[in-house]
Amino acid sequence: MLTFINPIPGLAPITGFIVLGVLLVVLMVFTLRWRMHEHSKVDLLHAFVHLRVNLPKEAPETGPAQRDWRETLAGYETLFVTLGGLTYRPGGGKFGELWFQFWYGRHDHITLEMVAINGQIYFYLVVPRALRQLLELQILAQYPKAQIEAVEDYNIFGPNSFVQGTSLQLKKPSMYPIRTYKKLDSDPLNGITMALGKVQAGEGAVIQIAIRAKRAGWDQAGVRKAKLMQEGKEKRGGSSGGLLGVLGASLKGGEQEQYQTRMPNITPQEQELIKALEEKASKPGFETNIRIVTSSPNERNARVHLENIVNAFTQFHAPESGTSFKRRQVRRTGRVIWDTIWRNFNPTNMILNSEEVNSLYHFPLSTMETPNIAWLAAQQAAAPVALPTEGITLGHNVYRGQDLVV
């Protein structure tokens, strides 16, 4: 029996104290970090502005000038392509950005909201004040007749309301695309607004889609999967060969991945999936939270409204990829309600690209027949250019964020 003798007496207790001290310091740092993250969510509420966007209801174009609704939505996608390229820099360069995010988290998300309240449907955006002007310019570039105004926050809850809330997640990894407007027979907003249109006066409902630009590299899993399928290679056991597969291989000591190779005899369905994977990876990506909350004096109505809205998202099921949205557990209270009210962004693995986000949220087209949409009743106009600069002040002309004394 071998006996090991410690060459330095008392070293083991000292080492133990050092390890314990390091663990305590790490625990204290991350506890402080968590508290600062939570406090910053409340403190930074004042750094966001609520924008309500209204558009006029116009007669649809006819004849040669008429555009297909898909072409119109493709133009609107430019808004999200621009947002996907934004980089949040709190100052101090790359190190300052990482330091700020470690202690306070990222607060560059944008919340897209469709709200049914007082018997009408409204479209809101909640954005950082630093991005307000840029976002307004981008919206007006795609929706020239839109009216954008900063408003106070709304409240869908009544004093005696029953509340139902849930969130949506993808059934499969994010590299698999959902069905978008390009492959649907009608504007996907029709089904969503029809569900919201069932909400009566005295009730309320909100669909909240919080997005923030995903850093470069998110698309590699989809590109890699498409390449493997094109080469006729599939992992044994049916693994997708995505990010989890790569991590699994590294944890096993860097073992070489085993593939079974077949002749690249790709079926039409596989070709469609390859094309879909490549198309999704080719566009800007967004980490996405989707939350749905309803409120009604009648508990059954609150539950029915929630189910109707959730069912409206089944239209995004993609046969070629097999993915769609799934509902999480319905809650009457708890985190999903809290996050909706405070518009918190929870780090997530659900990544949607600009085309998918544009399919879920865009402002109503003039062809939309949902009766309860709050259309713009009267349009604003800019003041004449050659106005006198002296004399009696009659008022102010506020047009597209510019305040001109008349």
Which run of H or E residues covers position 354? Answer: helix 354-360
Which residues make beta-bridge pairs with 294? 164, 205
Asked if pLDDT for residue 316 goes beyond 90, the answer is yes
Asked if pLDDT for residue 399 goes beyond 60, the answer is no
Q: ∠ CA(58), CA(64), CA(66), 5° rounding? A: 30
Asked if pLDDT for residue 358 goes beyond 80, the answer is yes
SS3 category, 204: strand
Residue in the block written with tokens 């954008």: 148
Structure tokens at 312: 């409206």
Residue in the block written with tokens 């009604």: 296
Which residues make beta-bridge pairs with 14? none
pLDDT band at 17 (very low <50, low <70, confident <90, very high): confident
Query: 199-249 pLDDT, tens per residue?
Result: 999 999 999 999 999 887 889 999 999 999 888 775 433 444 444 444 444
Dihedral, CA atoms, 256, 227, 169, 316, nearest 10 degrees?
-160
Asked if pLDDT for residue 33 goes beyond 90, the answer is no
Contact criterion met (CB below 8 Å) for 364 and 193: yes
Asked if pLDDT for residue 340 goes beyond 80, the answer is yes
CB atoms within 10 A of CB 285: 24
- C-alpha separations of 227 from 2, 221, 244, 307 in Å: 56, 10, 17, 39
Q: What is the DSSP letter of 313?
A: G
Alpha carbons within 13 A on the beta-carbon side of 50: 16
Alpha carbons 169 and 325: distance in angstroms, whole number? 5
More confident residue, 367 or 80: 80
SS3 category, 268: helix
Alpha carbons 258 and 228: distance in angstroms, whole number? 13
Asked if pLDDT for residue 39 goes beyond 70, the answer is no
pTM, two decimal places:
0.79
Structure tokens at 294: 């309803």
For 301, list phi and psi in degrees, rounded to 5.
Answer: -65, -40
Q: What is the DSSP string of 35-59?
A: HHHHHHHHHGGGGEEEEEEE-B--P
Asked if pLDDT for residue 24 goes beyond 60, the answer is yes
Query: 56-99 pLDDT, tens per residue?
Result: 987 666 555 567 899 999 999 999 999 988 765 555 555 555 55
Alpha carbons within 13 A on the beta-carbon side of 372: 21
Asked if pLDDT for residue 405 goes beyond 70, the answer is no
Alpha carbons 317 and 338: distance in angstroms, whole number? 28
Query: What is the chain's mean pLDDT, rounded?
Result: 82
Asked if pLDDT for residue 36 goes beyond 80, the answer is no
Residue in the block written with tokens 């369905």: 269
Contact criterion met (CB below 8 Å) for 205 and 276: no
SS3 category, 112: strand
Look at residue 259 in the predicted model and tell me its pLDDT.
47
Look at residue 46 in the predicted model and tell me its pLDDT.
65
pLDDT band at 255 (very low <50, low <70, confident <90, very high): very low
Contact criterion met (CB below 8 Å) for 113 and 208: yes
